[in-house]
Amino acid sequence: MTPSESKTKKPLDIVVKFALSVFVGSFALIWGGMYLSRPDRSIPPYTVGAQSGHLVTTDVPRGTTDEDIELLVKRFRKVNHEKHDFARMKIYPTTPGDPGGPYNQIVIYVFDDHGWTDQEVLAKYLGGNAEVIKDYERSMRGYYRVLDQEEEGGIGPLSKNGQVTTKTRVLFKGRVTDPLPVEAEPVERGISISPL
């Protein structure tokens, strides 16, 4: 055997090729899953707390600005106009079986304190506990509501009987069938996980 023959590389074994492809494929799947499931950074992070009938409570982190809450309320409006389906916003149907649709009536309260989104607190609020009602409405940071084809959204409290207070700034009011105003898309905040 000559020295040049002994130095030629053997091709990789099929098992080694398979293992390498599984290894690289796993990382590609993990990165792809993280990219596809990344949170929407154009609105503040929120969680859905309690839900009772057509009432839904959500909370955002403490210190969330009114501008960020406005973005969230407007996103609820946009989702309703485009899809009439809040499932992608993590909200269960509020009027299941209704001929007008599964979200024909919905009232979403936005808080910046997780305690107000508890199911027991919502039950006391709906039960008419005067002390809870007063503090509940004072703690409300924003709202979005749809009753049949009428919608409204605002920053500030919405009373139990559906009235706005002097502390409330109504962002929009009209019919769900009205065209959405053309607004610039909000810029995503935060750090992207994309390597590109």
Average pLDDT over the chain, rounded to an integer? 84
Pick the range with the lowest mean pLDDT from 39-43, 104-108, 165-169: 39-43
Percentage of the chain lying above the pLDDT 90 cut: 38
Other residues' Cβ atoms within 10 Å of the Cβ of residue 107: 18
Other residues' Cβ atoms within 10 Å of the Cβ of residue 164: 16
Strand runs labelled E in the chain: 47-52, 55-59, 105-111, 142-147, 150-155, 169-175
**Are the beta carbons of 52 and 126 closer than 8 angstroms?**
yes
Tokens of 30: 């993990």
pLDDT digits (tens, 9 = 90+) for 42-85: 788 899 999 999 999 999 999 899 999 999 999 999 998 888 88
Higher pLDDT, 136 or 12: 136
pLDDT surpasses 80 at 174: yes
